[in-house]
Amino acid sequence: MASQWVMTPHDAEIYRKYSDDLIRFASGLVGPSGAEDVVANAVLRAISSAQWKAVDNQRAYLYRSVLNEAHSQHRSTQRRLAREIKAQQRQDTSDQPVDLDVLVALRKISERQRAVIHLTYWDDLTTGDIASLLGLSVRTIERELTLARRRLEALLS
């Protein structure tokens, strides 16, 4: 069973001692609206870590923790925005009509090949993701995708 960390009076004193300076520092990194959350997360993570008791310069350690937390938050935000942009781009392209010749050609390939084509181009999945989803090997997915592309190319040319 994991031990639960409990804030000691000493930890609370450390927080009170440095929090105003850390919040000003975090405001410069993430803006005033997110500064208090960054500081709270960073301080909590720092003083609940196993290394905390061995830290000689607690102030410097807390500043570094705030910097790391701000950096982590920034990376998370950038990843989320990239996912949202990618989803929006997929939505934008999915609203475009599919050429009738393409639909007819798709009906002339096997169901497995249609599934692989759909998951690759409409759902933007990797061959590994498709293999996992369909319970097939990556090599099988790659082969089906190659065969489907060749067949579609021949049908559409």
Verify that 108 and 77 share a domain, yes or no: no
Verify that 108 and 86 share a domain, yes or no: no
**Is the pTM for the entire model greater than 0.95?**
no
Return the CATH number at 110. Answer: 1.10.10.10
Angstrom distance (rounded) from CA 24 to CA 9: 24
Angstrom distance (rounded) from CA 72 to CA 76: 6
Of 48, 68, 93, the one marking the end of a domain is: 93
Number of domains comprising the chain: 2
Structure confidence by residue, pLDDT tens digits, 11-32: 889 889 999 999 999 999 888 8
Handedness of CA 24, 28, 34, 39 (dihedral sign): negative
Per the domain annotation, does 38 fall within a domain?
yes
Q: For residue 78, give its domain range.
A: 9-93
Return the CATH number at 64. Answer: 1.10.1740
> What value does the mean pLDDT of the chain take?
86
Q: 67, 39 in Cβ contact below 8 A?
A: no
Verify that 134 and 65 share a domain, yes or no: no
Verify that 86 and 105 share a domain, yes or no: no
- Name the more confident of 107 and 22: 22
Q: Kindly tell me if the per-residue pLDDT of 95 is higher than 70.
A: no
Count Cα atoms within 13 angstroms, Cβ side, for 16.
Answer: 7
| Amino acid 118: pLDDT | 86
Per the domain annotation, does 1 fall within a domain?
no
Q: Kindly tell me if the per-residue pLDDT of 35 is higher than 90.
A: yes
Residue whose C-alpha is closest to residue 68's, from 105, 131, 25: 25
What confidence tier does 98 reach under pLDDT thresholds 50, 70, 90? low
Verify that 63 and 102 share a domain, yes or no: no
How far, rounded to the nearest angstrom, does the alpha carbon of residue 24 sit from its chain's CA centroid? Answer: 28
Of 57, 77, 93, the one marking the end of a domain is: 93
Polymer length in residues for the chain = 157
Please state the rounded mean pLDDT for residues 83-95.
Answer: 69
